[in-house]
Amino acid sequence: MLSRQQIITSLYYLKLIGFLISNITIKKLILLHKPQEAPVKNSEHSEESLKTGGFIGLLERLIIVIFLSINQYSAIGLVLTAKSIARYDRISKDQAFAEYYLLGTLLSTIMVIVTYLLVF
């Protein structure tokens, strides 16, 4: 029979694994729909920029989980709004990127909410 502490520890690891699986799933699914771009030197499309975008996505999902856990559902909109404001210029000028961005944002949001509901 498991002790209360062992159950709590097991649940913690289950939550962590669920969150990691959702992050990996999002990355794999979004890469299937990435628009083709012509290579441009010293642009915002560099590999470093892609790593930064992935890190922003991870932070976005962590913040959404925090807001879900403290029942601040409307605050999730602030996260999505801030993300969109930061990318507004490119979204307004590049239709393919706008669709890719929207797909990634919606997929990320859905995955984190479903993972939260299933695990937490």
In one-letter notation, the amino acid at residue 16 is L
Q: Which of 83, 119, 90 is nearest to 104 (CA)?
A: 83
Q: What is the pTM of this model?
A: 0.69
Q: pLDDT tens per residue, the chain (120 residues)?
A: 778 787 777 777 777 787 777 777 777 777 777 776 644 444 555 566 667 877 888 888 889 989 998 999 999 999 999 988 988 999 999 998 898 888 888 888 988 888 888 877
Contact assessment for residue 118 and residue 110, using Cβ atoms and an 8 Å cutoff: no
Task: Annotate the chain with three-state secondary structure.
Answer: CCCHHHHHHHHHHHHHHHHHHHHHHHHHHHHCCCCCCCCCCCCCCCHHHHHHHHHHHHHHHHHHHHHHHCCCHHHHHHHHHHHHHHCHHHHHHCHHHHHHHHHHHHHHHHHHHHHHHHHC
- Would you state the pLDDT for residue 41? 44
Terminal Cα-to-Cα distance of the chain (whole angstroms): 22
Q: Which residue has the tokens 């706008």?
A: 98
Domain boundaries, the chain: 4-33+46-119
66 to each of 23, 98, 104, how far by Cα in Å?
Answer: 16, 27, 20
